[in-house]
A and B are shown apart, each in its own frame.
Chain A
Amino acid sequence: SQQGEEDPQALSIQEGENATMNCSYKTSINNLQWYRQNSGRGLVHLILIRSNEREKHSGRLRVTLDTSKKSSSLLITASRAADTASYFCAFSGAGSYQLTFGKGTKLSVIP
């Protein structure tokens, strides 16, 4: 399987703390994306980082990409209860239209 792998599978933190989740993949990629899914809902795109970028910020989100290690991390700073959701990385392989997802990290932010 070419699925990405994320860790941890589940993460529970207090409101105000930072949350870090990691994603590893096996192929060469065009880009890596992070999505969020609230319980029972569809996925919502958060941020995209291109293969030639190393770090990207969007509000309280910070994404890093290390193509030599085939890994990415998503940092959510100053977490809020509303950040409680599952987070998925997704990537498209070089020259491919397929968008492959990881298995996700379930984040719980305790008020």
Chain B
Amino acid sequence: NAGVTQTPKFQVLKTGQSMTLQCAQDMNHNSMYWYRQDPGMGLRLIYYSASEGTTDKGEVPNGYNVSRLNKREFSLRLESAAPSQTSVYFCASSLGQRNTEAFFGQGTRLTVV
């Protein structure tokens, strides 16, 4: 049982390049989330998908786009990477009902130079 799988684990981009972070869960969860984690800032929500077919902005959506490809997969795209997007990105999923826990992937460490 893999849980939440993120790829890649590490990535270095040049300013202006684009890339897509992939996330897949095998727990039949309805809700999926993308967070970024920066030192001293905790986790900040970028986008979330309450259920298949819906996506909504979180606290820090600028510079990102998402796609809920199906129930299992939720991708995060950086169209034109900037150094301010250097961060650790976490994908998470939950049943999406009230009072349920979230399960996290191992993270993607992204550096934009």
A100 near B101 (CB under 8 angstroms)? no
- Do A88 and B48 touch across chains, with their CB atoms under 8 A apart? no
Q: Smallest CB–CB gap between A95 and chain B, Å?
A: 10
> Would you call B90 and A43 a contact (CB within 8 A)?
yes
The distance in angstroms between the C-alpha atoms of A100 and B44, with both chains bound, is 7
Contact of A98 among B40, B48, B99, B101 (CB under 8 A): B48
Interface string of B42-76 (1 = CB under 8 A from A): 11110010100000101100000000000000000
* Residues A42 and B31 in contact in the complex (CB < 8 Å), given A30-B99, A98-B48: no
Closest chain-B Cβ to A25's Cβ sits at a distance in Å of 13
A97 touches B48 (CB 8 A): yes
* B25: interface (CB < 8 Å): no
A1 at the interface (CB under 8 A from B): yes
A65 to chain B, nearest CB (A): 13
A window 40-84: CB within 8 A of B: 41-45, 48, 50
Identity of the chain B residue whose Cβ is nearest the Cβ of A31 in the assembled complex: B99
B42 engages A3 (CB within 8 Å): yes
Q: Are B103 and A45 in contact (CB under 8 A)?
A: yes
Residue A48 contacts which of B41, B90, B96, B99 (CB distance < 8 angstroms)?
Answer: B99
Pairwise interchain contact A103-B40, C-beta atoms closer than 8 A: yes
Residues of the A chain whose Cβ atoms lie less than 8 Å from the Cβ of B102: 33, 35, 43, 45, 90, 99
Contacts of B4 in A (CB 8 A): 42
Q: Quick check: A30 and B104 within 8 Å, CB to CB?
A: no
Evaluate contact between A50 and B101: CB separation under 8 angstroms. no
Q: By the criterion CB–CB under 8 Å, are A3 and B44 in contact?
A: yes
B43 to chain A: which residues have CB within 8 Å? 43, 88, 90, 101
Q: Give the residues from 88 to 106 in chain B that come closer than 8 angstroms, CB to CB, to chain A.
A: 90, 92, 94, 96, 98-106
Residues of A within 8 A of B (CB): 1-3, 30-31, 33, 35, 41-45, 48, 50, 88, 90, 92, 97-104
